[in-house]
């Protein structure tokens, strides 16, 4: 459908060859710009990842520092328990009692934590159930 010049003032009719040339030009431009866009997107993702890793490293350092200070405080509290008990019993016995109590608590915590590493905790139960249901539904539809 050709339109007259009067339909669009200030425009001139575009010939078929000019139209084809402009489409080819646009496709060439698109073929150059799409890889550049992907390259820039990858660079942006890399920069964001590096910033996130820097933040993560700072957080890990802060947590590690806090854990060290907390451990030092806990050791001092244990020493004060030994000193307090040594007022009513022999110092070696006070240290032995505090040490045994701490070891029992630590052992209980360790056993509780070990249970979290059992293979059954890493099994994707809900996903497997959903897949089994899908498989059963397909069997019913096929038969």
Q: What is the mean pLDDT of each run of 10 residues along the chain (143 residues)?
A: 53 60 81 86 88 92 96 97 97 97 96 85 78 81 72
Residue 66, pLDDT score: 96
C-alpha–C-alpha distance, residues 136 and 102, integer Å: 53
Q: What are φ and ψ of residue 10, in 5° steps?
A: 85, 5
Nearest to 95 by CA among 76, 81, 77, 74: 81
Residue 104, pLDDT score: 98
Residue 19, pLDDT score: 61
pTM of the model: 0.52
């Amino acid at each position: 459908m050709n339109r007259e010049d009067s339909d669009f003032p200030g425009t001139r009719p575009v010939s078929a060859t000019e139209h084809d040339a402009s489409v080819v030009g646009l496709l060439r431009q698109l073929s150059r710009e799409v890889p550049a866009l992907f390259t820039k997107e990858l660079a942006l993702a890399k920069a964001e990842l590096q910033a996130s890793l820097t933040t993560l490293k700072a957080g890990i350092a802060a947590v590690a520092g806090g854990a060290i200070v907390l451990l030092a405080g806990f050791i001092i509290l244990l020493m004060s328990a030994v000193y307090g008990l040594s007022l009513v019993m022999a110092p070696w016995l006070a240290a032995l009692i505090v040490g045994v109590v701490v070891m029992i608590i630590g052992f209980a915590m360790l056993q509780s934590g070990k249970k979290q590493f059992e293979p059954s905790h890493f099994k994707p139960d809900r996903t497997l159930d959903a897949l089994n249901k899908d498989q059963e539904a397909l069997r019913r539809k096929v038969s």
